[in-house]
Amino acid sequence: MAFSQLLNLWLSGMSLWAASAGIAADLLVILAAALVVPPESRRRIRLALALLSLHVLVLIPAPLMDAAASRWVRLLALFLLLASFARAGFLLLMDGVVGRRLAQTSRSHVPQIFRDLLQVTLFVFAGLATLAQGGVDLSSLLATSALITAVVGLSLQETLGNTIAGLAMQAQPPFGVGDWIELDGGRIGQVTSVGWRSITLWTNDETEVSVPNGLLAKSAVLNYSRPTGVIRRTVRVSAPYAEPPHHVEAVLLDAIAGVPGVLASPAPSVVTGLFGESGIEYQLRFFITEFRTRDPIDSLVRDRIWYAFRRENITIPYPSQDLYLHSAPTRTVDAEDPVNDRMLSLGRVDFLAALPEQALRDLALSARRKPYGTGEVIIEQGEAGEEFFVIRRGEVAVLSGDREVARLGEGQFFGEMSLMTGAPRSATIRAVVPCELVVIAKPSMQEVLASHPDLVARMTAILEARTNALNDTPGRSLTPDGGTQRPLIHRIRDFFKLA
């Protein structure tokens, strides 16, 4: 028996089994959808069950009504049954068959805009089938609806344009929910939803921006999340003309090493840019994956560059002009003497206390002050070194492998055995907060010891006493002898080539 004939029998109330067959068929489709739809989507079946329940409730009083009223009630019941069919069949097709096929091919889910369009189309067909069974002439209805559609289309031209643009973008999606994109005009945000009329972006300012689909269709879209999510960033900095480019490039690459969020591969690089009025512009290029944190990462990279330039005495040039002022002589107050300041820091070191005042001043004259930013590695465990560090300001962590064993603060020091014997670094030292260190290199100490050879024995005695005390304290042996049993004084004399 044809489907239309079955509907006619059902509407006329002549066949109880026809009504039962319709309900049974709908239940079978709902059951099939429940079996194949993923668990997280099964709650969507509730609408099909609700429509079927309403169908039964509406159908129950139909036999008690007169013929005209009964026919209208049966038409309503028929629409509810067909709508339930449409909902269950839609879920069976989209979430069951198509959804599982996309999951097997590792593709994304069907866009919501297409799901909504297909579901509405099925409901419209259910309504048209109901009207057709009720005796409505669909050809005249469609002619009337075409006129109405033309009038509505003209009045809602922009809205329809946004909808059509949304459909076009879903057909060839340039982005998806969760992607970071940039539009013409510099607006940047993360896509949180894609709708019929517009998309929603969530910006780093914690604000929500709605962008019409029509505007998106006319705009160039830069997607930072595809194809790999690896994004290159560029930080520009100027250096003086007097600094050789290879030196500046080496300092920049060293400064960016170990910055959290910066990828080691692809490796950072430096490009020499413009020759400006005040200096040469360098472009430090590096890669990140967390686009949301791009601004903090850029900021940390600039911080590291500043500290690295200060340690290398590289000034960041800026436009300047000469201004000549003529005024009466005035009495000025001398600024802080940097030599006396360095002498004060070095005077706190026990094994340097044996130096005469003039020798300590000579050492302070050749010492350098180096700044380090939070998180920067000052020395690395196992590397060679011939420098000694006194903490003038700040705090550092002493690391053995990945374990922190101590912290050193203002007035404390490290690296003395590398300075005096050339022994490899026994620990990694990392800045906990911004630090300023006074640094003594081997050539400076060699000049002092060459001028005062009698100081070697006194300094050795102090070093041995403190090293033994440290080694007797568990977890505090920060100045090992490098694994050799040779007397310390001989190692110092050999290292500095003293007689």
Cα distance between residue 118 and residue 35, in whole Å: 21
User: DSSP assignment of 293-351, as one string?
Assistant: GHHHHHHHHHHHHHHHHHHTT-------------------PPPP-HHHHHHHHHTT-GG
Cα distance between residue 134 and residue 118, in whole Å: 24
Q: Give backbone dihedrals phi and psi of 45, rounded to 5 degrees, phi first.
A: -75, -15
Cα Rg of the chain (Å, integer): 40
Q: Give backbone dihedrals phi and psi of 243, rounded to 5 degrees, phi first.
A: -85, 125
Average confidence (pLDDT) per 10 residues, the chain, 499 residues = 51 55 79 77 80 79 70 78 82 73 59 70 78 66 53 51 56 76 86 81 88 77 88 95 93 93 95 90 95 94 95 86 56 55 83 82 89 92 90 92 90 88 90 92 87 80 72 43 63 80
pLDDT value of residue 338 = 75
Query: Please, which residues have CB within 8 angstroms of residue 390's CB and are 6 or more apart in sequence?
Result: 345, 346, 348, 349, 411, 412, 413, 437, 438, 439, 440
pLDDT value of residue 466 = 66
Q: Which residue has the tokens 């290879």?
A: 246
Q: Which residues pair with 286 in a beta bridge?
A: 233
- Whether omega before 212 lies within 30 degrees of 0, making that bond cis, reads no
Give, rounded to a whole angstrom, the gap between the first and last alpha carbons of the chain: 118
Residue 200 has a CB neighbour count (10 Å cut-off) of 16
Residue 449 has a CB neighbour count (10 Å cut-off) of 22
Query: Please, which residues have CB within 8 angstroms of residue 277's CB and are 6 or more apart in sequence?
Result: 319
Per DSSP, which regions of 137-265 are E strands? 180-182, 188-194, 198-202, 208-212, 222-223, 231-239
Confirm if 493 and 450 have CB atoms less than 8 A apart.
no
Confirm if 286 and 232 have CB atoms less than 8 A apart.
yes
- Whether omega before 39 lies within 30 degrees of 0, making that bond cis, reads no
Sequence length of the chain is 499
pLDDT value of residue 173 = 66
Q: Which residues of 36-65 are buried (b: 16+ CB within 10 A; e: fewer)?
A: ebeeeeeebbebbbebbebbeebbeebeee
